Amino acid sequence: MLNIALPKGRLGDQVYRLFAEIGYPCPGLEEDNRKLVFEEKEKGVRYLLVKPSDVAIYVERGAADLGVAGRDCLLESRPDVYELLDLGIGLCRIVVAAPEGYVEDMDRALRVATKYVNTARDYYASRNREIEVIKLHGSIELAPILGLSDVIVDITETGGTLRENHLRILTDILPVSARLIANKSGYKFKKERMDEIVGKLTEVTKK
Ligand code: PRP
């Protein structure tokens, strides 16, 4: 059995469709239910539905052989895994944003609300800017509106959430896409099968 960790939600649906297209469909996954493990014995695959930011830890620790995680999550948790392929989906950007009309006070540390603590620290360290990180887990856009932070470091896809909350992008930090990752020892033992999957996924994502 090859265990594949899919990120629950929108990206997971897209990723599953890619796997189905290359010959690993699993009809159970298309049903609307609360199951988290889906097995397709004939095809020798088991899909695990996990929180997007947890995919890397499942793969690093070998609970999954393969997984798909956003570059944002990988840069944040820096797991010891192989990154096999950029799937070219789940495209978004990590940006710095602030309320419209915000003017930075250079005389004090910048208060940065984010779920990407390491990414934010690295970015501001590279600019020699002192910051105070306010770690949040979601609805990051609220922080500067309520004065909890000066700016946010967050992902944006359509820009809709920023716009509707009257925030504007100050800087682009980096582009994000979904990556296929593999457990290191799992890759050694199942190399042939994983390479075949990478080859097929390369084909279908190039289309
Ligand atoms: C992400 C991100 C923004 C939103 C951006 O949140 O943190 O809030 O998506 O997308 P947009 O540019 O297309 O509007 P997510 O949906 O992951 O929820 P969260 O607030 O729980 O982090």
- Is the pLDDT assigned to residue 202 strictly greater than 90? yes
What residue owns the CA closest to ligand 1's atom 22? 138
* Mean pLDDT calculated for residue range 30-35: 86
- Is the pLDDT assigned to residue 207 strictly greater than 80? no
Task: Give residue-wise pLDDT tens across range 83-102.
Answer: 999 999 999 999 999 999 99
Cα 159 to middle of ligand 1, angstroms? 9
The tokens describing 6, both together, are: 């899919």
Contact at 8 Å (CB) between 54 and 172? Answer: no
Question: Ligand 1 pocket: which residues have CB below 6 Å?
Answer: 138-141, 154-161
pLDDT of residue 32: 81
Pairing state of beta strands 167-176 and 178-182?
A: unpaired
d(C-alpha 66, C-alpha 183), whole Å: 6
d(C-alpha 67, C-alpha 71), whole Å: 12
- Is the pLDDT assigned to residue 182 strictly greater than 90? yes
Q: In the structure, what pLDDT confidence band is assigned to residue 25 with cuts at 50, 70 and 90?
A: very high
The tokens describing 2, both together, are: 């090859």
What residue owns the CA closest to ligand 1's atom 9? 156
Ligand 1 atom nearest the C-alpha of 158 is 13
pLDDT of residue 174: 97
Task: Give residue-wise pLDDT tens across range 53-68.
Answer: 999 999 999 999 999 9
The burial of 2, by beta-carbon neighbours within 10 Å (0-12 exposed, 13-18 middle, 19 or more buried), is given as middle
Task: Give residue-wise pLDDT tens across range 99-158.
Answer: 999 999 999 999 999 999 999 999 999 999 999 999 999 999 999 999 999 999 999 999
Q: Determine the angle formed by the axes of helices 10-21 and 191-206, rounding to 10 degrees.
A: 100
| Of 117, 157, 168, best ligand 1 pocket probe by most atoms within 8 Å of the beta carbon | 157
Cα 105 to middle of ligand 1, angstroms? 27
Handedness of CA 13, 19, 22, 24 (dihedral sign): negative
Q: Where are the alpha helices (DSSP H) in 33-141?
A: 55-60, 71-77, 117-126
The burial of 165, by beta-carbon neighbours within 10 Å (0-12 exposed, 13-18 middle, 19 or more buried), is given as middle
Q: In the structure, what pLDDT confidence band is assigned to residue 50 with cuts at 50, 70 and 90?
A: very high
Please give the mean pLDDT across all residues of the chain. 96
d(C-alpha 20, C-alpha 105), whole Å: 52
pLDDT of residue 206: 87
pLDDT of residue 40: 93
Cα 155 to middle of ligand 1, angstroms? 7
- Is the pLDDT assigned to residue 81 strictly greater than 90? yes
| Of 119, 161, 163, 167, best ligand 1 pocket probe by most atoms within 8 Å of the beta carbon | 161
Helix (H, G, I), strand (E, B) or coil at 108: coil
